[in-house]
Amino acid sequence: MAHYFVGDIQGCFAELQKLLLKVDFNPSKDTLWAVGDLVARGPDSLATLRFFQSLGDTGKVVLGNHDMHLLALHGKLKRNKPSDNLTPLLNAPDIESLISWLRLQPLMRELPEHNVIMTHAGVPPQWSLETLRQESQLVSQALQQADYLDALISKMYSDTAERWEPNAIGINRLRFCINALTRMRYLFVDGHLDFDCKQPPENCTNPQLRPWFDFASPLRESHTLVFGHWAALMGKVNSPKLKALDTGCCWGEYLTLWHLESDQKITQKRLKKS
């Protein structure tokens, strides 16, 4: 049995298929983990969601910011932009089933026997494993409520929840978790989230900003952290316990698969448009 972790697919389903062929992925014995952002920008978000839904327990997905945004689009809370290539998905006959499946996906997953944690953007350095579990579970519970659109999705877009406040309640607590686990790249030196800079660390000109993974963290010592979201990194990080898997396939670069057991990365260049 093998564990494969794939970076941000963003609708690049043909590239995903080629990657899985390269490693002879067998869903009857292997597990495919996805760091989120299954949809948007690439040409086939619909096939991507259908594929992961069909995998059942063989597919382990966490939600990314684009997946959360899809929930807002489906709920008519945001405008559908043509550049996201989501119209075929939103108009699909099985869209309700796909959305119901997506709402069941968490913001974090663990592989305890290997001390691996997967989120979309990373883990706040202030958080312990217990806090990560607790906060992500609160968001999952809110997503699975009948009023999730009004109570969560309509209110999650905010740059104000940039500080971890252990005593926060309600939507402010949920907002910070969503911001941190699906949008985080840099933190200010005092530990609060920055939402503007997307450059790789070597190009960041603000001396007050540091990558989230450069802060001391108990989880960095004990676990391998698998994440995507930050395409500008192109997989280049400063520790073997960090696996940055977003390598910009939807931007014309490549899709990356990490094979846990061999600690090898396999890549597939973005295919040319036919």
Averaged pLDDT for residues 47-52: 98
Please give the Cα distance from 63 to 108 (Å, whole number): 8
Percent of the chain with pLDDT over 90: 93
Query: Between 3.60.21.10, 1.10.357.10, 3.40.30.10, 3.30.1280.10, what CATH number should domain 3-269 receive?
Result: 3.60.21.10
242-244, strands of its sheet edge to edge = 108-111, 116-119, 224-227, 242-244
| Mean pLDDT across 84-95 | 96
28-47 pLDDT per residue, tens: 999 999 999 999 999 999 99
Cα 245 to Cα 8, 63, 102, 192, 234, distances in angstroms: 7, 15, 21, 24, 8
What's the pLDDT score for residue 174? Answer: 96
Give percent helix, percent strand, percent coil of the chain, each to the nearest 5: 40, 15, 45
What tens digit of pLDDT does each residue of 197-241 get?
999 999 999 999 999 999 999 898 899 999 999 999 999 998 999
Domain segments of the chain: what residues?
A: 3-269
Can you tell me the distance from the alpha carbon of 85 to that of 37, in angstroms, rounded to the nearest whole number?
13
Q: How many Cβ atoms are within 10 Å of 188's Cβ, its own excluded?
A: 14
Place of tokens 């309640």: 169
Q: Mean pLDDT for the chain?
A: 96
In tens, the pLDDT along 126-183 reads 999 999 999 999 999 999 999 999 999 999 988 887 999 999 999 999 999 999 999 9
Strand partners, 118: 109, 226
Q: Which residues contact 258 (CB under 8 A, 6 or more apart)?
A: 4, 5, 6, 226, 243, 245, 264, 265, 266
